[in-house]
Structure formats: C-alpha cells, structure tokens
Amino acid sequence: MTRVLAPGVPEPPREKMFSNARVVGDRFFLSGMHAGGPDGPVGGGDTGAQAVEAFRRVCELTRACGAQVDDIVVLRIYLTDIADKAAVGRARADVFTGDFPCSTLVEVSALVDPGLTVEIEAEGIIGSGGG
C-alpha cells in the first residue's frame, strides 16, 4: 500500500490522520476532494466552481497514482443542497467522456468546513480505462 502525493493538491495536516490517495496493487482510492483552501473555498459559495476545483484535485491525484481519469470506476458525490446537482453535472461533463464511472450523489447536512458545498470521492483500477 502506497500513499500518494500530488503537488497541486493540499495535503491534510498530519493530525487529521488520513491520506488523500492510496494505491493498493492496481487499485487507487481517493479521499473526498473539495475546494477548501486557507482563505475559504476556491470558488466562494458557487457550487459549480467548487465542483470544478474538486474534480481538478481528483484528476491530479488520479494521475499521481499512475492512472488516468478513464481508470476511475466509482464516484461518490456529496452535496449540501441537492438543487446544485446540475452545476456539479456540468463540471463532471468536462472531466468524463465515453464510458462513465458508477456514481452515487447524495445530499448531506454539512461538509468538513463551513462554506464547502460539494465533496467528491473516487476509486479506480490503474489501466482499466483502455486509453
């Protein structure tokens, strides 16, 4: 099992006791990515902009795992307001084409930091995307 770092994705402080990404054999697992930053969410309160940033982080970590976006087989998306699903869908459409990953989208009452409205988990199999 290997912990994976990506230069453009903030690492959680050690006291948070989790990793952003792990590779086990040919499988990779990404913790929930969001748009959190030291000065508040990237994109402010705009869920679409937050989703773009969260997907950017998912893509960067995926590449750092030695995979490509098409290797992602499962997504879990958490929204604080289900009415924002179309905005998240637009951000998602900029990332995925062809055979889409399996996906779950749920509304939650809150995310880890105030102001965050979307969080995205992913997992996949390196080399499974065929590209």
Distances (CA, A) of 78 to 2, 41, 43, 47, 125: 26, 15, 17, 11, 22
Give me the pLDDT at residue 10, please. Answer: 85
Q: What is the pLDDT of residues 34-86, one digit of tens each?
A: 999 989 999 999 999 999 999 999 999 999 999 999 999 999 999 999 999 99
Mean per-residue pLDDT for 10-28?
85
The answer, yes or no, to whether residue 15 has pLDDT greater than 60, is: no
Is pLDDT of 126 > 60?
yes
Contact 12, 111 (CB under 8 A): no
How many percent of the chain have pLDDT more than 90?
A: 80
- Per-residue confidence (pLDDT) for residue 12, from 0 to 100: 75
Provide the pLDDT confidence category of residue 97 given band limits of 50, 70 and 90: confident
Domain 2-125 belongs to what architecture? 2-Layer Sandwich (3.30)
d(C-alpha 15, C-alpha 26), whole Å = 28
Taking residue 46's Cβ as centre, other Cβ atoms within 10 Å add up to 15
Confidence at residue 16, expressed as pLDDT on a 0 to 100 scale = 65
Q: Domain residue spans in the chain?
A: 2-125
Q: What is the mean pLDDT of the chain?
A: 93
- What are the C-alpha distances in Å from 109 to residues 24, 34, 123? 32, 15, 24
User: Sorting pLDDT into bands at 50, 70 and 90, what band is 129?
Assistant: confident
Question: In which residue are the tokens 């959680």 written?
Answer: 12
Q: Are 33 and 58 in contact (CB under 8 A)?
A: yes
- pLDDT above 80: residue 103: yes
